[in-house]
Structure 1
Amino acid sequence: MISTHSFARRGVEVAHSLVMKRSDDEPDVHQIPPMAALIFLLTCAIFFVLLAAISYTYGHLITTLCMVESPSTNAYVPIESVEPADDAPPAYTEDGVPKPVDAEVNLVRTQPITASLRATVLHLRARAGFWSRFRGLSVYLVWNFARSVIVGILSAASSNPFLVIFASIVAEIALANIHMTWIHVIISEPSAKRWHQRIPTPFLKSWRKIAPAVALWAVTSQIVTILPMLVAGSFGAMRRFDDPNFEPGMKEAYATAGQLFMAMFLTLLLVVLLQIPATVTMVRVAASMLPEEDETIVPFDRTFGGLTTPEIVGGQGKIGIVEAWRSFTWECRRRLLRTVVKVAAIIMTTWILFSIVAMVEAHALFGPAFGEMMKSLHGISHRGS
């Protein structure tokens, strides 16, 4: 992990090399117009901001709520929000007089809130306001920044990728309480407290409870993140980018896109088999430690079907790792899997649209200089990793 200053310096150097004239002994190297490079990089920036927003709202926020919501818990809605059937008879009292409709009477909701992405967004907006799709973003950014700092410190002395992986796992475990705070913020009703006031206390005692589940999640996350790119980069055009004599063209660009899509599908497979169970376990353990004074924003069974016992009566005050996964019923697993598929489809569609736009821009803006642009961008990512 390199510092922000170092990354900026290297980026400026690479950009400078793209737009400045080459020496006389390299007359065959194409120059990239500065305006064309700027347009292309702005397109990439817009795409990554859009993808990050989609990923946070649908890939993190809604899926976490889906892992917490308990379908066995009765969710109630105001009766005026339910349209009666046209042929439904009116309710009568014992004296045969029609009962007046009471707006405070509630009916049971038969479908979980998180069964629909749109319904979940609307529910969040009704309970937490317009910007509820980004609730918890501040603590999420702090958590990621702190994780980056820890990883940078632990892996600064070496470029060994396995050391970076180990540092990432250590950072996740060290920040387990911050991660749990983020989960508590997004699964609970809006609170007047600042996020740092909601960090579980006593700090060390809470950390010991959540650390094993976070460790399991951290290890699987690294496997899902690293393995697909290692496989995709082990053959074809992506393997040859480190060769100084390699001159990629449009053919290699299409091959690279295909390898990236393969990496995305492998990532999805690993997500289903490894990361989803580990994430569900960690989220539900954290949810079991939600303070009693905080109400959840979706229906949630705090007892997990009687598997947890409050500390006040001699229990641990949380659910165990094995029980956290077992208490997540097959109905909930299917609902979560459907949600993951929907989110993956949204992200894939966004990625495909960006790829089409990027290829069209590449043909129109760079022409034969596109190979030089690809090598320069790969150089930035390679030196920045």
Structure 2
Amino acid sequence: MIGRLLSRGQDVAGHFADKYGYKMQEFKPPVWGVVLVAITAFAYLLASFAIEYTFSHLIPSLVMVESTEAVLFEPIEKEDPDAIPDSKLEQELFLIKQQPITSSFCRTIKLLHSVGGFCARFRGLSVYVFSSVLAASVNHSVAAIIPLSAIGISEIITAVLFANLWMAWTHIVISAPSELPWFRRVPTYQSWKKIAGPTAYAAVAEQISVLFPVGLILVSGIADISPEDRKNMSSTERHIVVLKTIGIIITTFATLLFVALPARVALTRIHASLLPEDQKTIVPVDRSFSGKVNDMDEHLTIRDALKTFERSSRIRLIKTYAKGFFMQVALAMVFFTIVAGEVVLIIGPSKIMEFGCMGGVSAE
């Protein structure tokens, strides 16, 4: 789909160049204008990455492992000594579940700041960058060896190979600050054997959520429709294309929600179950996971990891991802507006009016 969008962008750019290319070649943007746009683009990339890392990776991981604490208050003695206590009513009144810390971004950010200041928003960044670069390098090498028919296999192999690095990232994110450098916190080979299977499961689920919608696009024939074909379509054919597109979008969200997301939740909770006993967590975590883990050598299974993940936590996790997505959309709109203003400033209103008039004349 991204490739198709890029192709459409090239078509539009080529059409614009054919109409106004000779005029555009006459205009040479000033150096300060190029530098200004470059700085703005760089600032956008930094801001986008900051939002992506904090609100789409770090905070969701905390949501996946946080347990809802229940606080039991002692009942107040009744003024009437002859009154008969209602034990069921007292339990309902005084067994209170506290609101999770990750229920709002503000509370979570305040917690992170109390743990390590502003930089705590990026805790685990060093191992994240190292793992991403290393995994990308190995993935390209593996992909060059494996036949094209095995698309996605290289990503699965890479994920399993570096499973310990990603578990170290989870441990750093959810635990209290440590004096040890991140490479000293990478789990041992014995831990790798415990998470190799769940990591492969999560990697397969992620590949399904990516490749299945792509396969639908290819099978539906939407990717093969050219601009000329769209012009010659009847209204019925246009409606069919729209329905196919809507169906693919719904399928994409469904695979993300019911395939990729549960697998990611299970893997993260399994990581948390293998956190060393001497390391404290920054959010309340039931280290026994509802009694499923009773020994230091035990760890959650995929089934137990999902079974112990409460419905309220699932809803909170989906809301967290949705908020992060809309933050990215808002950021893109803001920077698009800024760049549009910079283009007007660089080119000048007179030039823009000239191009607009040319477009109007050509359209006639």
Match of 2:120 in 1: 132
Q: Which has the higher helix share?
A: 2
Match of 1:296 in 2: 281
Larger radius of gyration: 2
Alignment of 1:17-32 (within 5 A): 31=25
Instruction: Decide which moves more: 178-187 or 150-159.
Output: 150-159
Match of 2:158 in 1: 171
1:50 aligned partner, one-letter code: A
What SS does the aligned partner of 2:152 have? helix
Q: In the alignment, is residue 191 of structure 1 matched against residue 178 of structure 2?
A: yes
Q: Is the 8 A contact 1:220 1:274 kept in 2?
A: yes
2:110 aligned partner, one-letter code: L
RMSD between aligned residues: 3.8
Q: How many angstroms apart in 1 are the aligned matches of 2:346 and 2:253?
A: 33
Distance 1:231 1:29, change over 3 A: farther
Q: How many angstroms apart in 1 are the aligned matches of 2:277 and 2:324?
A: 32
Distance 1:240 1:145, change over 3 A: farther
**Unpaired stretches in structure 1, ≥5 consecutive residues:** 1-26, 76-107, 244-259, 370-385
Q: Is the 8 A contact 2:69 2:97 kept in 1?
A: no
Alignment of 1:87-166 (within 5 A): 110-156=98-144, 160=148, 163=150, 165-166=152-153
1:183 aligned partner, one-letter code: T
Match of 1:181 in 2: 168
Instruction: Decide which moves more: 356-365 or 339-348.
Output: 356-365
Distance 1:267 1:48, change over 3 A: farther
Q: Is the 8 A contact 2:62 2:283 kept in 1?
A: yes
Q: How many angstroms apart in 2 are the aligned matches of 1:214 and 1:41?
A: 39
Distance 1:123 1:207, change over 3 A: same
Distance 1:64 1:329, change over 3 A: same
**Unpaired stretches in structure 2, ≥5 consecutive residues:** 1-20, 73-95, 229-244, 356-364
Q: TM-score, normalised by structure 1?
A: 0.64
Displacement of 1:334: 1.6
Displacement of 1:33: 3.9
Displacement of 1:224: 3.6
Displacement of 1:355: 4.1
1:61 aligned partner, one-letter code: L
2:166 aligned partner, one-letter code: H
| Aligned mate of 1:52, from 44, 49, 52 | 49
What SS does the aligned partner of 1:156 have? helix
Distance 1:295 1:118, change over 3 A: same
Distance 1:28 1:264, change over 3 A: farther
Match of 2:88 in 1: none
Match of 1:334 in 2: 315
Instruction: Decide which moves more: 42-51 or 147-156.
Output: 42-51
Displacement of 1:346: 1.2
Identity %: 30
Q: How many angstroms apart in 2 are the aligned matches of 1:198 and 1:139?
A: 10
Q: Is the 8 A contact 1:73 1:300 kept in 2?
A: no
1:108-129 alpha-carbon deviations (Å, 9 max, x no partner)? 8821100011100101111222
2:133 aligned partner, one-letter code: F
Alignment of 1:1-385 (within 5 A): 31=25, 33=28, 35=31, 39-72=36-69, 110-156=98-144, 160=148, 163=150, 165-201=152-188, 203=189, 205-226=190-211, 235=222, 268-311=253-296, 316-358=297-339
